[in-house]
Amino acid sequence: MKPEDMRRETLHRDAFAGLSTRRQLIQRGLALGLSIPVINAALAACKGQATPSASSGASGPTFKLGVVTSLSGDDVFGGNLTRRGYDFWAETVNQRGGIEVGGTKYKVTMVYADDQSKPATGADAAERLITQEKVDAIFGPYTSGVTLAVAPICDKYKVPMLAGSAESPNVWKAKPAYTFGIIPSVDLTAGKALAVLVSQANPKPTSAAILGADEPFSKEAAQGFLAQAQQLGLTITKQEFVPPNADLTPIVSSFAATKPDIVAVGGHEEVLINFIKAAKSLNFLPKAIIMHYGVTEPDFARNLGPDAEGVFGLAVWTPDVSYRDDLFGSAKDYDTNSYNRWGSHPDYTEAACSASGEVFAAAVAKLGKKPPLSESDRAKLRDLIEQTSITTFYGPIAFETSGDHYHDNTKPTPVLVQIQKGAVVAVGPAEAKKAEMIYPLPAWNARS
C-alpha cells in the first residue's frame, strides 16, 4: 500500500474510532436523565429524616410564615441561629394549640427558603414564598444585605417582614415600610457598652485601639466603639479596618507597639476568634478587650477555652435578664427549654427571632382575622405591628416611627458581659450585673 493510502486509512479509522455511536450517546443521555429522579428520591428520603419540621401537620387553616435565611454560604452559621429561634417559637406556639384569634386557636406552619447568603437569592426566595406559598408574613434574614434586597419585595406585595437579626443601621436608614427589626442596631449599642466598661474599670483606662472588619455590621460596631471612645476622652492610639479574611498578626503587632489599655474589635465570630489567637500568639495583652455580640456565641468560648477568659462583649439579651412573658416564661426558662431542644444555649439572635414570632402573634390576635390573610388584612397587620408595645422574655419591644432607626426596636438597653470561666456573665451596668468584672486581663499563660 502506498504511504498516502495508509495515511488516509489511518485518518479515516481514527476519525471515527474515538467517536461514540449514536446509540452510546443515547445511552449516556438516558443514564444522566434517569439519575436525576433517583437522586431526587434519595434526597427526599434524606430530607424526611434530616429536618425536624416545626409545622405540626395540622388540619384546618394555619398561619403560614415564610422564613428567608442563610442556610448555606458565608453566613450559614448565623442563618441557622435565626432558624432555630423562629422554629422554637413555632413549636412552642403549636404545643399550646396555636395563636388565639377571636376565640379559636390557629396553628402555625413554617416554610423555609435559603438565601445562600446572597441578596439576589434572598429576593428570589421572598418572591417564591409570597407568590407561590402565599405566606402571611415573612421572618427575616440573618444579614442586612439580604434584608435590604427583600424589603422592597415585601413592600410591593404588602407582606410584613419581621427581622430577628438585621443589625446594620443601613436597613433602617432606607425607611422600609413593611420591615421591622427586633434588635437595636449596632451603632446604638456598641458605644453604650464601652461607656459602662470605662466607667467601672479601676484604674481608669486612658487609651484605646479600635479594629474593625471591613464588612457591614462589623464596621458599624467598630465605628460605634470609636465614636464613644472619642467622646469619653480616651486617646485613640490606633484605628484600623481590615478585610475580614486578612491575617491579623501585622495589625496586632502594630497595636501592641502603641500599648493601648483597651482594644475594641468589631467583627463576626471567625474574626473575633482569630484576633484572640493572634494576640495570644504574639503575647499581646491589653488591659481589656471588648468585642461585640459575637462574644456571646457559644462557639467563641468553646473554641478558645481559657483564652476567652475576661473578654468583654455586650448583649441586649442574656438568659439572666428579668423579663418574662406568658409564652416562654422567664428568660431563664427560655434558655433552659431552648437548650433542651437544640443542645446549645441560645444567644441574643435566637431570642430575638423567637420574640419576632410573639410580635406577629400579638398583632394578628388584635387583627382578629383568620388565616389565610388577604392583602388588605396584611396591610392592616402592618399598621398593628407598627403600634406594637409589648414586653416579652426578650425585653420591651416597640418600633421607632421616625428618624434614622425607622422600624427598629430601640428599647432594649445593652448589658456589658464578660466571659468568666467559659460562661457569659453580666458585669454591668450596676442594675443588671451578676458578678464583678475582671480587670485587667489575666496573663495568657496564667490561665487554667
Partner 1 sequence: MTLFIQTIANGLLLGGLYVALAIGFALAFGVLDVVDFAVGQWVMLGGFIGYFLWKWTGIDPFLLLPAVFVLFGGAGYLLAPLIMRVRTSRYARPELMVLAFTFGIALIMRGGALTAWGFNTRSISTGLGGVTLQGGGIALPGLRVAAFGFALAAVGLFFLILYRTRFGLAVRAVAQNKQSARLMGIDVERVSALVYALYAGLTGMVGVLMAAIYSVTPEVGVRYTLFAFFVVVLAGMGSIAGVLIAGFVLGVLEALTAVYVSGTLTFLVVFAVLYLSLILFPQGLARRGRS
Partner 2 sequence: MTWAHVRRGLALAGLLVLLSLPFWVNAYILRIATGIFLWAGLACAWNIVGGYAGYISFGHSAFFGIGAYAAGILMGERFGLPFAGALVVGVAAAGVIAALIGWPTLRLRGAYFAIATWAFAEMVLQLANVLRITGGTAGLTLPPLLDERLFYFLMLGGAVLTYGLCFVLLERSRFGYRLKAIRDNEIAAETLGIDTTRVKLQAFVLSAAITAAFGAIYAYWITFINPTSVLAGDITDQMVVMALLGGLGHLWGPAIGAASMYLVNRLFWSLWGNTTAYIVVLGVVIALVVLFLPDGLVSLWPRTRRLQVLRALGPHPQQERPTVAEEQR
**Interface residues toward partner 2, by CB under 8 A:** 11, 14-19, 22, 25, 28-29, 31-32, 35, 39, 43-44, 46-47, 50-51, 71-72, 74, 76, 83, 112-114, 116, 118-121, 123-125, 127-128, 131-132, 145, 148-149, 152-153, 155-156, 168, 170, 174, 214-216, 219, 243
Comparing CB distances to partner 2, the nearer of 43 and 365 is 43
Comparing CB distances to partner 2, the nearer of 227 and 384 is 227
Least separation in angstroms between residue 397's CB and partner 2 is 26
Burial of 438 (0-12, 13-18, 19+ CB in 10 A): middle
Q: Quote the distance between the C-alpha of residue 319 and its chain's center.
A: 18
Least separation in angstroms between residue 103's CB and partner 1 is 42
Residue 131 contact, options partner 2, partner 1, none, Cβ 5-8 Å cut-off depending on partner type:
partner 2
Least separation in angstroms between residue 10's CB and partner 1 is 15
**Whether the Cβ atoms of residue 440 and residue 209 lie closer than 8 Å to each other:** no
Q: Which strands, in side-by-side order, build the sheet including 108-114?
A: 108-114, 63-69, 137-139, 161-163, 179-181
Residue 333 contact, options partner 1, partner 2, none, Cβ 5-8 Å cut-off depending on partner type:
none
Comparing CB distances to partner 1, the nearer of 278 and 398 is 278
Comparing CB distances to partner 1, the nearer of 283 and 376 is 283
Least separation in angstroms between residue 333's CB and partner 1 is 25
Residue 41 contact, options partner 2, partner 1, none, Cβ 5-8 Å cut-off depending on partner type:
none
Residue 414 contact, options partner 1, partner 2, none, Cβ 5-8 Å cut-off depending on partner type:
none
Least separation in angstroms between residue 265's CB and partner 2 is 17
Decide the pairing of beta strands 99-101 and 235-242. Answer: unpaired
Least separation in angstroms between residue 179's CB and partner 1 is 25
Distance (Å, rounded) from C-alpha 285 to C-alpha 333?
A: 37
Comparing CB distances to partner 2, the nearer of 266 and 395 is 266
203 prior amide bond cis, ω within 30 = yes
Least separation in angstroms between residue 31's CB and partner 2 is 8
What are the C-alpha distances in Å from 295 to residues 136, 165, 166, 302, 306? 35, 16, 18, 11, 14
Least separation in angstroms between residue 281's CB and partner 1 is 3
Distance (Å, rounded) from C-alpha 257 to C-alpha 279?
A: 12
Q: Quick one: which of 312, 216, 220, 231 has its CA closest to 264?
A: 312
Q: Please work out, in degrees rounded to the nearest 5, the angle formed at the alpha carbon of residue 325 by the alpha carbons of 291 and 381.
A: 90
Residue 445 contact, options partner 1, partner 2, none, Cβ 5-8 Å cut-off depending on partner type:
partner 1
What are the C-alpha distances in Å from 194 to residues 226, 232, 260? 10, 9, 15
Distance (Å, rounded) from C-alpha 152 to C-alpha 149?
A: 7
Comparing CB distances to partner 1, the nearer of 348 and 393 is 348
Distance (Å, rounded) from C-alpha 390 to C-alpha 361?
A: 11
Comparing CB distances to partner 1, the nearer of 227 and 285 is 285
Distance (Å, rounded) from C-alpha 174 to C-alpha 127?
A: 20
Least separation in angstroms between residue 49's CB and partner 2 is 10
Residue 325 contact, options partner 2, partner 1, none, Cβ 5-8 Å cut-off depending on partner type:
none
Comparing CB distances to partner 1, the nearer of 246 and 423 is 246
Distance (Å, rounded) from C-alpha 90 to C-alpha 110?
A: 7
- The residues of the shown chain that bind partner 1, judged by CB under 8 A, are 18, 72-74, 76-77, 79-80, 211, 214, 240-243, 245-247, 249-251, 253-254, 256-257, 269-270, 273-274, 277-278, 280-284, 299, 303-305, 307, 444-445
Comparing CB distances to partner 1, the nearer of 267 and 412 is 267
Comparing CB distances to partner 1, the nearer of 6 and 257 is 257
Least separation in angstroms between residue 255's CB and partner 1 is 10
The C-alpha cell that represents 297 in the structure block: 456565641
User: What are the phi and psi torsion angles at 391 (to 5°)?
Assistant: -120, 130
Distance (Å, rounded) from C-alpha 98 to C-alpha 89?
A: 11
Residue 299 contact, options partner 2, partner 1, none, Cβ 5-8 Å cut-off depending on partner type:
partner 1
Comparing CB distances to partner 1, the nearer of 73 and 329 is 73
**Whether the Cβ atoms of residue 294 and residue 267 lie closer than 8 Å to each other:** yes
Residue 231 contact, options partner 1, partner 2, none, Cβ 5-8 Å cut-off depending on partner type:
none
Least separation in angstroms between residue 123's CB and partner 1 is 22
Burial of 120 (0-12, 13-18, 19+ CB in 10 A): exposed
Residue 116 contact, options partner 1, partner 2, none, Cβ 5-8 Å cut-off depending on partner type:
partner 2
What are the C-alpha distances in Å from 363 to residues 84, 153, 164, 367? 22, 21, 16, 6
